[in-house]
Structure 1
């Protein structure tokens, strides 16, 4: 009888260990098995038309998707949210992304896919024509959107009177309404943003260029190297076949400055 009781206790203990081990396996976080595609609302690079993602970068990624055999849908999120997701999870493609030192340890970059000039704009009716960022910052506030190259540049120069919005269209509307005096924005997006705001290029005037930025496809840390290489090969083929130039001219009515691509692998701590 005692022997049978010991056997039952041993069996129950064994089952409990198996159960706990299985429980540990379920709760252990695992990487997504498929690539997640994230972008921001920045027309004409990427934006929503109804509930459908469209734009130059969206169309480019859709073309590359078919070449690499990827079928995930493209998600359009506010930049800060999209960047947060890509910074924390593997198997995320974030686009269109500028390369910064602070991002080199977090992402593998494929590109460039576009070149943008970061410009400062004023209302056409504003008669003051400041020639430098220092002069601008003394005359009034600047509108930018959160997480943009524009915000980073202004922060680097120590500009304090900055109004930060969640979307670039909000910043433009602040300029048009007189809530900010100047607007800092990538030139590629200006024409379509003006159209969305119900106006055109005659409403504003460019003052000067702050920086020229190349934009890339950014693959989050932990994404397999083979995946990054596959997308790079697809982009290279797309460029060599002439489709890249045609797509760029379709959306921007100008020639692409870069028609070849490369991979910038993420930097490891010892690098």
Structure 2
């Protein structure tokens, strides 16, 4: 009886293999911990970009396996394997040929910040920042902007791991300015027990910044087209506007 039972069980397992293979997700999605866009809470992926991605996957009929990694590592890995998605990523001329782009998903300005209040540092131009130290997240468009303006790492530029660290250094007075996105840095300040209203924007460095879902350049074009169509539909039927409103983004 036992050999026959084992044969029957083995046959059942073999018949189930195609079904298991079919459940493999089509997309390997990489993101960073960047609240309120993307963060993990009790094992669940939360935040604006994760909610938007889930809507797009539902409407497109695609599935994704999501991993949270440091931004620099995610950026490197997303360029290597087809059907890998990096989100959300700023679309820049330097990155244009690296990916196929789905979006735009979110418009966000890149700004230069100081701590406001009675003791706020005077600011009239970037020359004031050049004589100070500016924190900016590594491997971001903000870093490229500052370097093009003549800022140098370990001199008047301090590279950080993410926007939250930039905000932490600014509130701790270890730097005099920070570069990044107000939505991210104000959220980080609030999470760190600081008053986000003290974050004072002194100059908009780029107000044309657009965040996208970036697919590795050799990814299946059908997947890219289905995701773009899903995003377009979400924008048209009101779900996108409702999501922006829920995250207090104009």
TM-score (structure 2 length as normaliser): 0.83
Native 8 Å contact 1:53 1:75 kept in 2: no
Aligned length: 222
Once the two structures are TM-superposed, the CA of residue 73 in structure 1 deviates from its matched residue by 3.2
Match 1:149 to one of 141, 145, 152? 141
* Alignment partner, residue 24 of structure 1: none
The CA distance in 1 between the partners of 2:64 and 2:100, in whole Å, is: 19
Once the two structures are TM-superposed, the CA of residue 33 in structure 1 deviates from its matched residue by 7.4
* Alignment partner, residue 63 of structure 1: 55
* Alignment partner, residue 35 of structure 1: 27
* Alignment partner, residue 228 of structure 1: 224
* Alignment partner, residue 20 of structure 1: none
Match 1:164 to one of 144, 156, 159? 159
Q: Which structure's CA Rg is the greater one?
A: 1
RMSD: 1.7
The CA distance in 1 between the partners of 2:224 and 2:71, in whole Å, is: 22
For residues 20-79 of structure 1, give each alpha carbon's deviation from its aligned partner in whole angstroms, at most 9, with x where no partner exists: xxxxxxxxxxxx972101112222111222432211111000111111223323222111
* Alignment partner, residue 194 of structure 1: 189
Native 8 Å contact 2:108 2:211 kept in 1: yes
**Range moving further from structure 2, 59-68 or 44-53:** 44-53
After superposition, residues 112-131 of structure 1 pair within 5 angstroms as 112-125=104-117, 126-131=119-124
Native 8 Å contact 1:131 1:208 kept in 2: no
* Alignment partner, residue 179 of structure 2: 184
Structure 1 residue runs of 5 or longer lacking an equivalent are 1-31, 255-271
CA 130–174 in structure 1, closer or farther in 2 if over 3 Å, else same: same
Match 2:199 to one of 200, 204, 218? 204
The CA distance in 2 between the partners of 1:52 and 1:152, in whole Å, is: 33
Pair 1:219 & 2:215 matched: yes
TM-score (structure 1 length as normaliser): 0.77
